Chains A and B, each alone.
Chain A
Amino acid sequence: MRLRRPVPYEELDHTADAGVIVHGRCKEEALARLVLAYADLVTGGAPVATGADRVVEVAPGDLAAVAVDVLRELLFRLETERWVPESCEVVHFDPQRGARLVIGSAPYDPVAHADGLVLKAVTLHAARFEPEGSGWVAAIVFDV
């Protein structure tokens, strides 16, 4: 299932930095929402054009660490390849295999996205990805 922006998320009220909390019916949906919430932060919620699909794969680890690694990779690609996610499909996501995502990319536009946050890094501080009730919750803090 491919998700597209906008997705529901909450902004964490961190004193110096920024963070998001997302919920999903399954862990894959929560991860996809996390990716698209990140895209919302860096573009300031501005619309993006649709571009080519890109594959992002990260190594195994606990779910929070894998989610952090997915966002780390996206941040690196934003700075070096200048694109942001427009849509996201989680192919697999578990501690044994890590994660594989197919992401619809859109060019980062410094003018249209000038209201976006400039994130320096994705932190492990207070990172969580866990079941909650009948669904899943994930929270990530970004260094700004």
Chain B
Amino acid sequence: MTLALRKLSRFVWEIPREGKMRVAGRLYVSESQLAALRADQALEQVVNVAHLPGIVGASLAMPDIHWGYGFPIGGVAAVDAESGAVSPGGVGYDINCGCRVITTQLHVDDLRNHLHAIVAKLFAAIPTGMGAGRAIPRLSPRELGELMTRGADWAVARGYGAGPDDAAHCEESGRLPGAEPDWVSQRALERGADQVGTLGSGNHFLEVQQVTEIYDPEAAAAFGLRTGEITLMIHSGSRGLGHQVCDETLHELSRVYARFGADYAALPDRQLACAPIGSELGQRYLGAMQAAASFAWANRQVMTGLAVRAVAEALGLPETELGARVLYDVCHNIAKFEEHVVDGQLRRVLVHRKGATRAFGPGDPRVPEAYRDVGQPVLIPGDMGRYSFVLAGSTGAMTETFGSSCHGAGRLLSRTAALKRARGRHIERELAARGIEVLAKGPRTLGEEMSEAYKDVEDVVDVIAGAGISRKVAKLVPLGVIKG
């Protein structure tokens, strides 16, 4: 597909509205990123999303955009909360896939001789990969219902935590109030019952990291980030429970969405199937999706408790001596009701963020008080061989992107291309030579997830910073990695 693009500024490009597009497309990318994108189907997906009923503003793409299914990964779409449509494909199968950073008062020198033991303890404590379960005892349907209502706080109440304010330091305080556990099917409960506290696979990971650079001292101080100190980063989601919620809704929707009207019937990709927000099916999905989102927060919270315990055991210290606390926890696969200014007017919209992170700016009352002066922490994982970033939300995000930012490096190579490039190499040893200890279920994961498979996340965050969407605060470099 050849698209005529209009350059709006150094990092902002427009796909003009044409045909049945309801809004234009808008891309936040550099020239070189755009050149690479032309070989991908992601741009076509930005156009497809612009057909969503009720979409307002523009169909947005962040600099980590790549080919997804239905929505591109790195896509943002806000629809009117009354007349718009909710699209499960705009959230993704891994509902509330997200990222959290836990700061500690440990210095890198405290860890050097214990890294192997720490990574081994983490790998033993947190199940990874296919069939991973039983990090904690299997939960009954009643317990799962309670967990999906309380989210992160459910896990904190059971002793899985880092500090006293873990849940308060999660986006939405680690639970969505619209959660309706009763709308989560028995099959979804069955998949999720023994998966609380498990990492998953693919690009999910837990890293032990070192803060190596501070770009914004004021924000870094507010976030508790100091050069040389150790952080933990967890990237995971709602596991099989969330996958099943999305899968079942899409299955049902794909057969009926055309009946919601001509706008729905004309959608260019079945994977974009959606329902009016106010419809029975739309409401059912929103209730179940929000319950799955709360499940994901509980999942990351349980892993936080298990990880802090594992690190303390490896170091032979009491947990309290780690000085661990949750810096923040963001979701990057979600749809949330928020108020934003659209065409000069405050409107309630449902913001779909599919591989995009909320990035509210300074002064926003929805940002935890401790961070309100500097903007919310925006956590951007990179690849396992290079670095990740902590950014801060800015006012630019509020006016341009419905308070949204990028979510990661974005893949550069397909999995098959990455495996070809990894053939004959020992990725584990290559990482070890660079001081990074990694443990994964199988060599395939390491090949698929090697650094070269991803864009340089620094290029991604530099575009976001250059476009005024978020500010760079700190760089985190991996020392130890566990993967599925």
Contacts and interface: CB of A to CB of B under 8 A. Distances in A.
Q: Which of B273, B442, B443 has the most CB of A within 10 A?
A: B442
Nearest to A143: B93
Contacts of A65: 254-255
Contacts of B269: 125
Interface of B: 40, 42, 66-70, 73, 92-94, 129-132, 187, 190-191, 200-202, 240, 243-244, 246-247, 250-251, 254-255, 269-271, 273, 411, 413-417, 441-444, 484
Interface stretch (A7-15, A22-30, A49-57, A93-101): A7-15
A141 B191 contact: no
A17 B69 contact: yes
27 contacts: A13-B414, A15-B411, A42-B130, A61-B255, A65-B254, A65-B255, A72-B251, A76-B244, A79-B131, A79-B240, A82-B131, A108-B131, A110-B130, A115-B444, A116-B442, A116-B444, A118-B201, A120-B202, A121-B243, A122-B247, A123-B69, A123-B93, A124-B271, A125-B70, A125-B271, A143-B69, A144-B202
A114 interface: yes
Contact of B442 (A115, A120, A124): A115
Given A11-B416, A16-B66, A115-B443, 7 more contacts: A14-B415, A80-B191, A116-B442, A123-B93, A124-B270, A126-B69, A144-B202
Nearest to B355: A16
A5 interface: no
Given A76-B191, A121-B246, A123-B271, A15 B414 contact: yes
A124 B250 CA distance: 9
Given A72-B247, A113-B130, A124 B191 contact: no
Given A69-B251, A125-B269, A114 B441 contact: yes
A102 interface: no
A67 to B, nearest CB: 13
Nearest to A110: B131
Contact of B416 (A13, A69, A76, A141): A13
Given A42-B130, A79-B240, A110-B130, A118 B73 contact: no
A123 B444 CA distance: 22
Q: Which of B94, B243, B255 has the most CB of A within 10 A?
A: B243
A78 B130 CA distance: 9
A78 B417 CA distance: 27
Interface string A30-70: 00000000000010100000000000000001000100010
Contacts, number: 106
A22 to B, nearest CB: 16
Q: Which of B69, B255, B273 has the most CB of A within 10 A?
A: B69
B254 A44 contact: no
A125 B131 contact: no
A108 B200 CA distance: 16
A142 B478 CA distance: 29
Interface residues of A, number: 37
A120 to B, nearest CB: 5
Nearest to B73: A16
A122 B93 CA distance: 10
Interface of A: 11, 13-18, 42, 44, 61, 65, 69, 72, 76, 78-80, 82, 108, 110, 113-118, 120-127, 141, 143-144
Contact of A16 (B68, B270, B442): B68
Q: Which of A16, A17, A61 has the most CB of B within 10 A?
A: A16
Contacts of A11: 416
Contact of B130 (A15, A116, A122): A116
B257 to A, nearest CB: 11
B413 to A, nearest CB: 8
Contacts of B441: 110, 114
B244 A14 contact: no
B295 to A, nearest CB: 15
A125 B273 CA distance: 11
A114 B445 CA distance: 9
A15 B66 contact: yes
A125 B66 CA distance: 15
Contacts of B444: 44, 114-117
Contacts of B443: 115
Contacts of A14: 67, 414-415
A11 B255 CA distance: 28
Given A15-B411, A117-B444, A110 B66 contact: no
A124 B484 CA distance: 25
B417 A13 contact: yes
A15 B201 contact: no
Nearest to B67: A15
B91 to A, nearest CB: 12
Nearest to B248: A72
Given A15-B414, A143-B69, A120 B251 contact: no
Contacts of A42: 130
Contacts of A17: 68-69, 415
A98 to B, nearest CB: 13
Nearest to B70: A125
A16 B243 contact: no
A108 B414 CA distance: 26
Contact of B415 (A18, A61, A72, A79): A18
A124 to B, nearest CB: 5
